[in-house]
Amino acid sequence: MKKVTGIGGIFFKCESPDETKAWYSENLGLETDAWGTNFEWRQAGDPGKKGFTQWSPASENSRHFHPSQKDYMINYRVADLVALEAELRKAGVEILDEMETFPYGKFLHIMDPNGVKIELWEPNDEAYDEIVEGRTC
């Protein structure tokens, strides 16, 4: 089974998320909103389908990375999160929470051997596209 299909997002802590987003907007042209920005791309196997990668600076006090003590978290896109969770449990990987399902996909958090929290995401890119289109930058 193919496990990871791509990078779904990069999340990192910083002193001032709003100033960081403004700097990236002014200097590198990122169109940012309250969450950061999304990079839209086309899927190699089906160029008619969109995919997204999220870029999100977070407050240094954010608990979203907990229990990791690291200042970053990577979100990996996966094809079948239910099957992957079963494989991870069988392998003894530390599962941090219960799988959550939203209109834009399923999520599960694990811990890697270096103490980095990893977010696994089985995306529903069509629903995510609707959410992204509704945001105002």
CATH no. of 4-134:
3.10.180.10
At residue 46, the pLDDT reads 86
- Tokens representing residue 121 in the block: 């995401």
Domain map of the chain by residue range? 4-134
The pLDDT profile of the chain, 137 residues, written as one tens digit per residue, is 668 999 999 999 999 999 999 999 999 999 999 999 999 999 888 898 888 899 999 999 999 999 999 999 999 999 999 999 999 999 999 999 999 999 989 999 999 999 999 999 999 877 776 766 665 44
CB–CB of 53/30 below 8 Å?
no
CB–CB of 82/99 below 8 Å?
yes
What's the CA gap between 123 and 129, in Å, rounded? 11
- H helices of 13-114, in order, are 17-28, 81-91
CB–CB of 78/5 below 8 Å?
yes
At residue 134, the pLDDT reads 65
What's the CA gap between 4 and 120, in Å, rounded? 9
pTM of the predicted model, to two decimals? 0.86
What's the CA gap between 101 and 87, in Å, rounded? 19
User: At 66, phi and psi to the nearest 5?
Assistant: -60, 140
